[in-house]
Chains A and B, each alone.
Chain A
Amino acid sequence: MSTILECKNLSKSYDKKMALNKINLSLEGGHIIGLLGPNGSGKTTLIKLINGLLQPTEGELYINENPVGVESKKVVSYLPDQTYLEANLKVREVIDYFKDFYEDFDETRAYDMLAKLHINPSDKLKTMSKGTKEKVQLILVMSRRAKLYILDEPIAGVDPAARDYILEVILSNYDEDATILISTHLIADVENILDEVIFLKNGEIVMTSSVDDIREKQGTSIDSLFREVFKC
């Protein structure tokens, strides 16, 4: 198995506030990993560092053995927690953008998924509900044949039935040696598709474990364990 992501003593501080404190992490290909932690634990900071949207204060970060940069961005497909697409565009036009931008974008896949979710490619983004927009963005991100998918809160804005479908989209659209890192608060909804979890607390990794190990050893779901570890 190849290492897809490696963090060495990775730290990030905003002024004096430590957002991530000496993170050491190594992720292999072929896994679906949950990045879990309460608000302000550093999840989005870590994700932004991986995508080069922030510069680390200290430490190193490698993706597929390359430092963050042009080469790493070719293999990382990122779903941010906010929308960034121009609202006046039609879905079809956004797909054309993505095709231009990313060598690994698979147009057929995107149109297939749109059809399955009954989304009209001629609709403008601004006419869509929040949930539908989120679906479109996820489809765009999952239509790339990337090595590392980073999904920041992929199901937060959609209804429970659509969540099931979105998880199915995630499961059926990644290559076997690709890794998916999902950050979410909706643990109960995603925990059955995860094989590992990373618990972040105050900028530090408090636990990494296989999910079935947790269930076997602690006899509880990831959701309950989370509630226990991060009890307020």
Chain B
Amino acid sequence: MPWNLNSDRPIFIQIIEVIQLDIVSGKYAPGDKLPSVRDLAQEAAVNPNTMQKALAELERSGLVFSQRTSGRFITEDTKMIEDLKSSLAKEKIEEFLENMQKLGFKKEETITLMTETLKGEKS
């Protein structure tokens, strides 16, 4: 099943996001080996050059490192992964707040609504 990529944003950026999510969500554990560029490209149904570019970018950010002969691995720096997780969470929350604002809710109202929704879920 090809990855769900949107064609109006750069593909390599979307690939980075998918892999970041896979790391944060634990699909890849710290120190895990990533599949080869070719295999990943085939799985995502994208050009190997694009996959290569995305992985190079992930490498530059330090999230992934490569060992010359044996391939690419996920960082073992768990703090870095935690930091990424928090920053992704923050992005999602900001996005949500922005959408609520568009609907006409102030921050306090949003919080009240959220508390109510969470209570509703429990009962």
Contacts and interface: CB of A to CB of B under 8 A. Distances in A.
A114 to B, nearest CB: 19
Interface residues of A, number: 25
A162 to B, nearest CB: 14
Contact of A192 (B5, B38, B49, B53): B5
A221 B8 contact: yes
B105 to A, nearest CB: 28
Contact of A220 (B5, B8, B46): B8
Contact of B7 (A164, A172, A188, A195): A188
B120 interface: no
Contact of A195 (B2, B8, B13, B50): B50
Contacts of A68: none
A168 B47 CA distance: 10
A191 B7 contact: yes
B8 A212 contact: no
A211 B11 contact: yes
Contact of B45 (A30, A168, A212): A168
A176 interface: yes
A221 B47 contact: no
A224 interface: yes
Interface in B1-25: 2, 5, 7-13
Given A192-B5, A192-B7, A212-B13, 11 more contacts: A32-B47, A164-B2, A168-B42, A171-B47, A188-B7, A193-B47, A195-B47, A195-B49, A211-B11, A215-B7, A220-B8
Interface of B: 2, 5, 7-13, 38, 41-42, 45-50, 53
